[in-house]
Each structure stands twice: as C-alpha cells, then as structure tokens.
A = this chain, B = another copy of it.
Amino acid sequence: MGTKEYLQMMREIKDCTFATLDGEGRPATRIIDVMRVEEDGLYFLTARGKDFYSQLMEQQFVSVTGLTKNWEMLTLRGRVKRVSQELLTRIFETNPSMNGVYPGDSRNILEVFCLYEGQGEYFNLSETPVYRETFFLGHPAEHKKGYEITDACISCGICAGLCPQQCIDAGEPYAIRQENCLHCGLCVENCPAEAIRRR
C-alpha cells in the first residue's frame, strides 16, 4: 500500500495517540482525532490554552500511533506546522461531534495543525509471520530500524533456527526478511560470529 492509503487508515481509526515532550523533556501523550487527511498530510486540532498547543508550536514534531479494528498498528512521526484556520469550518462539518465540545463561536479557540513530513510504519502483529512496511510523507530523511546480517556470517544457521518468526533465509550471508522481522534481537544475541548489526 502507499502513503495515501496508510493516511486514510489513520483517518478511519480517527482516535490516535499523539506524543510530544512536556516542559521537563519527558514524553506526554493524549488521544487526538485525525480530522482530515489530504495528500499533503494529516490534519488535527487543538486549543490554544492546552499544553499540547504550546508543545507543538515549540517542538514542531509529533509521533502519532493508532490501531485499526483488525489490530493493525500505524505510526507516523514527523514535522508539524500550524495552518490557516480557514479549514476549521470544513473540519467541523465533517466531524459534527465537535459541535458538542466547542459549540458556537467557542470553536475559534482551536487551531489547525498539519503533520506534513515524516516517516510511518505499518505493523501487523496478527498475521503469521508478522508484517511491517515503512512509508514516507513528504521527503524526510529515512530512518532504518531493525537488524541486518553482514558478510561476517559463517552460515551456521543458528539465527534462522531461533527466530520466533522464522524470517531468516539461508545463504551466504544469511538474510533477514525485513518485512517479517520483530526486531526482537534474539539472532543478534546468539550469533557466534557477531555478524548481525543494527541497520
């Protein structure tokens, strides 16, 4: 699937958890509705009096995670900016429950934000083997996760035998199927040749 489809899944989840840093540099989380998605990003609201608002303005970065009804996890991390409030009317039209929370003119205490550049991950833990895929919004610097097997591999096969997801293929060197990897590290801990490193 592509970025557009993954963003659409986050809109369908709607209630996602958004993380920023608090005044002491510690993570802070809360549920925020994904109000709208466009090709250029994911839109959400917050009120100017909230800690979340100040943190977004200061940090311009957020990490967002949600779960579909089929237990598929979606995470998107990246840069945010405040955008024109013109979108507010349209957002209230397509998310009518907001009128109960911010009736009448009180909606004007809200500001619209857009997560416009970042890296995402789709992770399905209920498939066998598990399945993950990375996606990109805008043009962020890519950040690889997980492990890879280097040429120091002696093809002993210990890693492949231990792997809980059986996602290591024999070869010279052996190779991890990245899309099925848990990143659990069991192969790394047990490789006698220390041939497995972080990507």
Contacts and interface: CB of A to CB of B under 8 A. Distances in A.
Contact of A182 (B47, B64, B128): B47
A21 interface: yes
B51 A145 contact: yes
A97 B31 CA distance: 26
Contacts of A189: 48-49, 109
A182 B63 contact: no
Contacts of A73: 30-31
Contact of A47 (B20, B30, B109, B186): B186
A198 to B, nearest CB: 9
Question: Which size bracket describes the interface of A in this complex?
Answer: 35 or more
A29 B101 contact: no
Tell me how many chains of this kind the complex includes: 2
Given A27-B61, A73-B30, A73-B31, A185 B48 contact: yes
A15 B50 CA distance: 26
A171 interface: no
Interface in A52-69: 53, 61-67
16 contacts: A17-B29, A19-B27, A21-B25, A27-B62, A29-B77, A30-B73, A31-B73, A47-B183, A47-B185, A49-B188, A50-B185, A51-B183, A101-B130, A106-B164, A109-B186, A110-B184
Interface of A: 15, 17, 19-21, 25-31, 47-51, 53, 61-67, 71, 73, 75, 77, 100-104, 106, 109-110, 123, 125, 128, 130, 145, 147, 162-165, 182-186, 188-189
